[in-house]
Amino acid sequence: MLFGQRLILALLLLCVAPAWAELQIEINQGVENPTPIAVVPFAWQGVGSAPEDVAQIVDSDLARSGQFSPVSRRDMLSYPTRESELFFRDWRAISAEYVLIGRVSVGSQARIDFQLFDTTRQEAVQSGTVTGPVTELRMLAHGVADSVYETLTGIPGAFATRLLYVSVTRNPEGKDFYRLTLADADGRRPIVLLEGRDPILSPSWSPDGSEVAYVSFETSRPAIYRQNLRTGAREQLTNFKGLNNSPAWSPDGNTMALVLSKDGNPDIYLLNLTSRALTRLTRHFAIDTEPTWMPDGKSLLFTSDRGGRPQIYQYDLRTQKIERVTFQGPYNARARVAQDGRNVALVHQRDGRYHIAVFDLVTDRLTVLTETSLDESPSIAPNGSIVLYATKRGENSILGAVAVDGGVRFSLPAREGSVQEPAWSPYVTP
C-alpha cells in the first residue's frame, strides 16, 4: 500500500480454489530400491464431487520423497476403499508391497480415515484418522502422507508444511519485480504476501509458523518487517541507518536475532520483541552476519570474516564467548541448524564453486551434498531429512532439494522467472 508496494492479506481461508502451483517439481534422483506402494483412490462420502483427490496428493508426496515408487492407478485391478474389499493377491500380482486405502468425508470438519496394509504379511500395519478445517483438505491429505511415511521409514514426514520463497521477474529495462510467496510444501496454493519493484530478502518463520519476518527495501532503504499470516497485520521492526537484515526468531519466539550496521559495520543484535530492547552481541570490525539459533535457544551460529574469510562461529548467550566452528575450506556461510541440533546445512566453497554441505557438530565432519556451483540459502525441513536451497539454472534461480544423506534430489523451478531464498516452515497445525 505504501510506496507503491502492495501488501496482500494472507487470508488462508480463501484457498478453496483448485491448487495451482507456481513451482514445478522434477525428481532428479531417488533411492536405489524405492518401496512400491499402491495409494488407491479414496472414497468420497460427501455431496457433489470431491474437492481434492486426496489419494493423488498422498501419492505425489510419497513419490517426491524419492523413497517410494507409487503404483499407477491404471495398473490397479480394483479400487477398494474398505478392508472387506481388499484382496492381497491383486496387489502382490502388481508387486505393490503396501496398499493404502481411505475415505474422505466433509461435515463441519473434513475427515480422512485411512488404512495401510502390508501385502506380504497380509495384515494392516496402520490405521488412522485426520480431521481439520474443510478448507485445509489438502493439508490433511499431506498429514496422511506424513503418517504413512513415518510408519514405513521411522522418520516423521514433513509434507504437511509450508514454504516461503522470493520470486523475481527480471526486467532488463528497469527494476526487477519481487514477490514474497507462501505455498504448501508441494508448491501448491501459492499466496503472494508482498510484491513490488523493491528487493525482498531473508524470509523467515516464527517458531509456531503463524508469522513471517523479512527484509523489504520498499522505503528505498532496507527495513525488517514481521507479518501475521492469519490476520495480515504487518509491522516494521527496525529501520536503522545501514543494513537491517537476516531476521531470525528465537525458538521461544520472544527474541529476534538480526544484523545491523548502524554502529559502523555489520554486527549481530538481539531484539526483544516485547520490550523492543536491542542488545548488541558482536563487536568486531569484520562482517558478522547470518545469525541462526541452535534449537535449544542457548547459542547462535553466525557467519564472520574475522579470520580473513567467511566461516561459521558460535555465540554462547550465557558465557558471551565466541568460538569458531568451521575450518573446512576457505568459505563456509549461512548456517541453518536441523531440529536435532547436530546437522548444520551451510554454503561451502570448493574450487571456486559454491555448494550446499552438511556439517556435523558432533563429529566435525563436512559432507558436500550438491554438484551445482552457485548454490545458496539452505533451509532444512522440520524433520531434518531434506535441505531445500536455491541454485542457478541458466539466467534464473531455481529451488533444489537434496536429502541430508544425499540419496534423493529434486528441483523446483518456477514456471516463470527466478525463485530464491526458500524457507521451510516449522510443523504447523492445519
Partner 1 sequence: MKNVTLYGKWLGLVFAALFLAACSSNDTKEADAAAVTAAEQAAQEAAAREAEQQARAEAQRALEVAAADVGTIFYFGFDSSLLTDESRAQVDAHITALLGNNDSVRLEGHTDERGTREYNLALGERRANAVRDYMVANGVPSYRIETISYGEENPVAYGSGETNWQQNRRVELK
Complex with partner 1: residue 259 or 403, whichever CB lies closer: 259
Residue 26 has which C-alpha cell? 522434477
Residue 325 has which C-alpha cell? 566452528
CA separation (Å) from 295 to 212, 314, 360? Answer: 18, 13, 15
**148's torsion region: left (phi>0), alpha (psi -120 to 50) or beta?**
alpha
Three-state SS for 166? strand
Rounded to the nearest angstrom, the gap between the alpha carbon of residue 39 and the centroid of all alpha carbons in its chain is 25
Nearest-angstrom CA–CA distance, 336 and 388: 11
Nearest-angstrom CA–CA distance, 361 and 83: 47
**Considering the complex, what minimum distance in angstroms separates the CB of residue 292 from partner 1?**
11
| Window contacting partner 1 (CB under 8 A); options: 73-81, 257-265, 311-319, 361-369 | 257-265
Complex with partner 1: residue 266 or 426, whichever CB lies closer: 266
Q: What share of the chain is helix, strand, coil (3-state, %, to 5)?
A: 10, 45, 45
Contact between 354 and partner 1 per CB under 8 A: yes
**145's torsion region: left (phi>0), alpha (psi -120 to 50) or beta?**
alpha
Contact between 170 and partner 1 per CB under 8 A: yes
Contact between 202 and partner 1 per CB under 8 A: yes
Question: DSSP characters for 255-301?
Answer: EEEEEE-TTSS-EEEEEETTT--EEE----SS-EEEEEE-TTSSEEE
Complex with partner 1: residue 88 or 177, whichever CB lies closer: 177
The 121-160 contact track toward partner 1, x by CB under 8 A, reads ----------------------------------------
Contact between 195 and partner 1 per CB under 8 A: no
Contact between 242 and partner 1 per CB under 8 A: yes
Nearest-angstrom CA–CA distance, 73 and 80: 12
Complex with partner 1: residue 37 or 333, whichever CB lies closer: 333
Complex with partner 1: residue 152 or 347, whichever CB lies closer: 347
Contact between 246 and partner 1 per CB under 8 A: yes
Complex with partner 1: residue 190 or 222, whichever CB lies closer: 222
Contact between 303 and partner 1 per CB under 8 A: yes
| Window contacting partner 1 (CB under 8 A); options: 22-30, 204-212, 225-233, 327-335 | 327-335
User: 402 CB contacts (<8 Å, ≥6 apart)?
Assistant: 356, 369, 370, 386, 387, 389, 408, 409
**Considering the complex, what minimum distance in angstroms separates the CB of residue 174 from partner 1?**
10
Out of 142, 188, 334, 336, name the contact with partner 1 by CB under 8 A.
Answer: 334
Out of 245, 255, 282, 311, name the contact with partner 1 by CB under 8 A.
Answer: 245
Contact between 259 and partner 1 per CB under 8 A: yes
**Considering the complex, what minimum distance in angstroms separates the CB of residue 390 from partner 1?**
9
Residue 35 has which C-alpha cell? 518401496
The residue ranges that bind partner 1 (CB under 8 A) are 170, 172, 175-176, 199, 201-202, 217, 220-222, 242-243, 245-246, 259, 261, 265-266, 287, 289-290, 303, 305, 310, 331, 333-334, 347, 349, 354, 374, 376-377, 392, 395, 420-421
